Every structure is written in C-alpha cells, then in structure tokens.
Amino acid sequence: MTSTAGRPYLIAVVGAGPSGIYAAEALVQQTDVPVEVVVIDRLPTPFGLVRYGVAPDHPSIRSIRNTLERTLERSGVRFLGDVVVGRDLTVEELRARTDAVVYAYGSGTDQRLGVPGEDLDGSVAAPELVAWYCGHPDVHPDDPAVAGADVPGTARSGLTTAEIEQLITTTRSAVVIGVGNVALDVARVLIKSADDLADTDMADEVLDGLDRSTVTDVHLVGRRGPAYTAFTTKELRELGELDVDLVLDPSDFVLDASSEAVLAVEKVAARNVTVMRGWLDRPRTGARRRIHLHFWRRPVALHAADGDRVSSVELESTGLDADGRVRGTGAFSRIPAELVVRSVGYRGVELPGVPYDASTGRVPHAEGRVIRDGAFAPGEYVTGWIKRGPTGVIGTNKHDAVETVTALLADLAAGTQAPQHDLRELTELLEGRGVHPLGMPAWHRIDAAEIERGVSHGRPRSTLVHRSELLAAAEEGAEHPEVAGRMADRR
Ligand SMILES: Cc1cc2nc3c(=O)[nH]c(=O)nc-3n(C[C@H](O)[C@H](O)[C@H](O)COP(=O)(O)OP(=O)(O)OC[C@H]3O[C@@H](n4cnc5c(N)ncnc54)[C@H](O)[C@@H]3O)c2cc1C
C-alpha cells in the first residue's frame, strides 16, 4: 500500500442504516490503512430502519441510534444526508470520485404473496404500514396528491398517509400474513390504543390516525405450525401483556412428529410453543380487542364483496409433504378482513449501476466483494440486508460489516494504488447540481425540533414526518431549554 503525502483513501458508503454505519465504524477504528469515510443517505436523517422500522414502542432498541450517531460524529466520518445515489449522482459518478464504495442500501421493497386479489384496496405491504407508523417521509409526502417516492433502490406501492388512515378507520378485522417479528410489531401497533402509544416517539398525526382506528380484531396467519414461527420469545410474550384477548385453536397445539423434532433442537421454538400453550388456558376477559393466531393455513386469494376493497381472505389448510415442504390439504376457510397486511419479508431492489441478482434480491458478492460480470469488481463492496438478505438482528449487521471491511482493507493494503480522491470532488459535483447534503449538525437540529415538538405535547418526542418539516428543522433548529437539557443527557 502506498499513500500520497498522508492523504487517506476516500471510501463512500451508500446507506446510513446500521450496516453502513457499522462499516464506517470498522473503517475508522483501524489505523493500518488511512481512510476517510463519507456515509451517504437518500433521507435527511441517518439510521435507516432503526428510525423507520424498529417499532416505536420498543424505545430501548431504537436507542441503538445513539451509538450509531457517535460513529457518524467521529473524525474521519462525514454524513451526507438527503443525497439520492442513482438520482442526484450516478453510481458511476460516485465510483469515479472515491477510492472504494460500500453498498449498504438495504432492502427497499416487500415480498409479494402471489395470490389473486393481492392488489385490492386494503391489501398493503408491511413495509408500507411500518413506514407510516414510523413517520417515513415517503409515506407522508408534502403534497398529499403525490403518492410515495420514486427513488432508485426502493419500490413502494405508493400509499399515502391519508389512504392508510382511511383504511384503519374503516377496518374492524385485519389479517396479517406472516409469523415473524415484523408481523408481531404490526399486530401490536394495530391493536394498541393511541393512549398506549402516547409515550413513544410516534408523530402526533400518526397517533391521531391510530386514535380513530376502528380495528378490533387482528389475525396472524402462519402457513406452518406453532413450532415453526420466526418470533423471538421476548416479542411474542409482549402479546400476552396487552389488554386484549388472545384467541388460539387448541388443535394447532397437538403437535405432529416433525414439529416435535423441531422443538427438540430449536430452543427458541420450544419456548415460543410453551408461551402460546400458556395462552390456551387463559380465560377470555371480554376485552374490546382480540388477537387471533392461526396456524397451518396459507392465503390462496383475497376477495372483495363489492367494489375494489378487500373483504375477506381465503385460506387453505396446510400440512407438510415427505420433503418437509408446505402443501395444501384442499380444505378452505375464510377470515373476514377489510385490511390485509403482507408481512412475508423485505426484498432488495436493483440500484442502477450496481450488479443485482434478481433471483435473490441481493448484490452478488463473496465475503463482501462485489461480483460484476463473473469477476470481483475492484473498489466495490456490499454489506447489510442488500448483501445477505433481510435476516438477523441489528447486531448481525456489525459482524457482516466487519467481514466486508476486512476484505476492503486487505485489498487496499495489498494493492499498489495510492489514494486518488478528495471529498471536494464529490461535494463540488453535488453543489454544482444544486444538491446540498445535510450533515450531522442538521441532524442535531432535526433531533432537537422533534424533542421540542414532543415536549410541547407532553410526550418524549414527536417524529417529523414531512420532508419539508425535516428540511425546515435542519435549517432552523430548536431552542427549547428542556430540549437542550435532554439532548445533553443523552450524550
Ligand atoms: C419493521 C422492522 C422492524 C425491525 N425491528 C428490529 C428490532 O426490533 N430489533 C432488531 O435487532 N432488528 C430489527 N429489525 C432489523 C434491522 O432494522 C435491520 O437488520 C437493519 O436495519 C438492516 O440494516 P441495513 O443498513 O442493511 O438496511 P437499512 O436499515 O434499511 O438502511 C439502508 C439505508 O440505505 C438508504 N438508501 C436506500 N437507497 C438509497 C439510495 N439510492 N441512495 C442513498 N441511500 C439509500 C436508506 O434510506 C436507508 O437509510 C427490524 C426490521 C424491520 C423491517
């Protein structure tokens, strides 16, 4: 490795979610190879799904952002918010102005069910609903007439906040397809009262929408049995602490040999089944709201009684074939539902200029080195969900980023190329196009404005949801004395 007059290598990270920030951390906490890291995000705010995915009623997990924030503040790291790679500058332009690029842009869309009726009104993807209740600006456009955002690396169906509010204020029964933690988050948020959510950082307008919700029943549907859920036990137990009746079918808990075999080796699965069995014996309280858990059923169609609005989900009972694959038994049933939430996984989207494997929804790679046309692409790396798919917990991204950065640093150390680029090349290109990136001072002003808004409503924080509000706060900041105190406490 040679270095030009002590100049560091300029590394761009595309995406300021956990994986991008962990990559920045791994890059700057080593001293063998001098680096400067620029973390670019299409949103004015950093933290990816920690801000726009993790459930607002899980504040301790959301507080991971304090740790991520410290990395973005480190010397040698620059955050460039509100810059869309693929629109404000192309991937080629970015590569031409940096010594290496790490793609960390996550999984921007949802998996489809592939059943008739999936596109009826009232059928929504979990990412859409999650983005709404977390206050993502894509789902809260400045202009209510403009649905969603057309941004490279993402794909949304384009529901607006008004449409989602309209759905939840005209739904009694909601079906959530899927038995993972995201399905639990969605079920919890739909069934909790707005009062229960008031001490979160949800936006005031989202709370207002939830306050008018008419949902009384949420049905969770899994195509396999209770031994095969992807829940973590802590999240599952939370359902038992809600002021709702839990409705389960005891026959689902008469386990077949394959389920027993799973429980014998999978500790989490065994704990989950124990938790759910405990609920079978709980007397119903006559609570106003219920969560129903259905197993061994798969959706085969969404129906509309009249018009275009979903009114029921048709399910087929299932079992396993000799190879352990789910098969339909030919017995059908229906659950009435005016809202159907597909929670069967996230999926990476192609970012123009970056290799993409459509069969997996990921960037092809080996140990984080991007593979382009069958060979390693010099200077291109990948980490996080767009590398391995939407799996694991936030901490998984740290190991993942370390693997990628290890490969990147090894390549720089083994190569003969001196650092070629300076951050000015990048910022001048953007400024020349009228793109003014937001840095960490802007984030701190947004942060303060959100706390100020929350405090003025007796709440810990109220997320700003509109891009215009975020940009105004980034510019003007907040002066509330209590806000300053709270922010100082957090650091
Ligand atoms: C609903 C939900 C709840 C979750 N809850 C938990 C939980 O409770 N606990 C837990 O451990 N894990 C949880 N996770 C998982 C966790 O959020 C992920 O592991 C993690 O966020 C993945 O990190 P990432 O950086 O790969 O992707 P992301 O967090 O999605 O970050 C990607 C970033 O790239 C940016 N980007 C995309 N396209 C572009 C572009 N063209 N130009 C510039 N920037 C771009 C995005 O704006 C985003 O900020 C949850 C996930 C979801 C979906």
Residues 6+ apart with CB under 8 A from 240: 246, 275, 278, 279
**Which residues define the annotated binding site?**
19, 49, 85, 223-224, 235, 385, 392-394
Report the residue among 94, 394, 403 best suited for mutation to probe ligand 1: largest number of ligand atoms under 8 A from its CB: 394
**Sole residue written with tokens 């799996």:** 391
Per CATH, is 111-345 categorized as 3.50.50.60?
yes
Expressed in angstroms and rounded, the spacing between residue 216 Cα and the centre of ligand 1 is: 30
Which residues contact ligand 1 via a Cβ below 6 A? 14-20, 40-43, 48-50, 53-54, 58, 61, 84-86, 104-106, 108, 130, 152-154, 182, 185, 346, 351, 384-385, 392-394, 397
Residue 220 C-alpha from the chain's centroid: 20
What is the domain partition of the chain in residue ranges?
9-107+348-438, 111-345, 439-491
CATH for 9-107+348-438, options being 3.40.50.720, 3.60.15.10, 3.40.50.970, 3.30.930.10: 3.40.50.720
Ligand 1 atom at minimum distance from 385 CA: 26
Q: Please report which residue ranges of 288-343 form alpha helices under DSSP H.
A: none
Q: 112-123: buried (b, 16+ CB within 10 Å) or exposed (e) per residue?
A: ebebebbebbbb
As a three-state string, the secondary structure of the chain is CCCCCCCCEEEEEECCCHHHHHHHHHHHCCCCCCEEEEEECCCCCCCHHHHHCCCCCCHHHHCHHHHHHHHHHCCCEEEEECCCECCCECHHHHHHCCCEEEECCCCCEECCCCCCCCCCECEEEHHHHHHHHHCCCCCCCCCCCCCCCCCCCCCCCCCCHHHHHHHHCCCCEEEEECCEHHHHHHHHHHHCCHHHHCCCCCCHHHHHHHHCCCCCEEEEECCCCHHHCECCHHHHHHHHCCCCEEEECHHHHCCCHHHHHHHHHCHHHHHHHHHHHHHHCCCCCCCCCEEEEECCEEEEEEECCCCCECCEEEEEEEEECCCCCEEEEEEEEEEECCEEEECCCEECCCCCCCCCECCCCECCEECCEEEECCEEEEEEEECCHHHHCCCCCCCHHHHHHHHHHHHHHHHHHHCCCCCCCCHHHHHHHHHHCCCCCECHHHHHHHHHHHHHHHHHCCCCCCCCCCHHHHHHHHHHCCCCHHHHHHHHHHC
* 53 Cα to the center of ligand 1, angstroms: 7
Q: What is the pLDDT tens value at each position of the chain, 491 positions in all? A: 444 557 899 999 999 999 999 999 999 999 999 999 999 999 999 999 999 999 999 999 999 999 999 999 999 999 999 999 999 999 999 999 999 999 999 998 888 899 999 999 999 999 999 999 999 998 888 876 565 556 665 656 667 788 899 999 999 999 999 999 999 999 999 999 999 999 999 999 999 999 999 999 999 999 999 999 999 999 999 999 999 999 999 999 999 999 999 999 999 999 999 999 999 999 989 889 999 999 999 999 999 998 999 999 999 999 999 888 999 999 999 999 999 999 998 999 999 999 999 999 999 999 999 999 999 999 999 999 999 999 999 999 999 999 999 999 999 999 888 899 999 999 999 999 999 999 999 999 999 999 999 999 999 999 999 999 999 999 985 444 444 554 555 54
User: Rounded to the nearest whole angstrom, what is the distance from the C-alpha of residue 13 to the centroid of ligand 1?
Assistant: 14
Residue nearest (by alpha carbon) to ligand 1 atom 4: 54
Fold agreement (9-107+348-438, 111-345): no
Nearest-atom index, ligand 1, CA of 15: 34
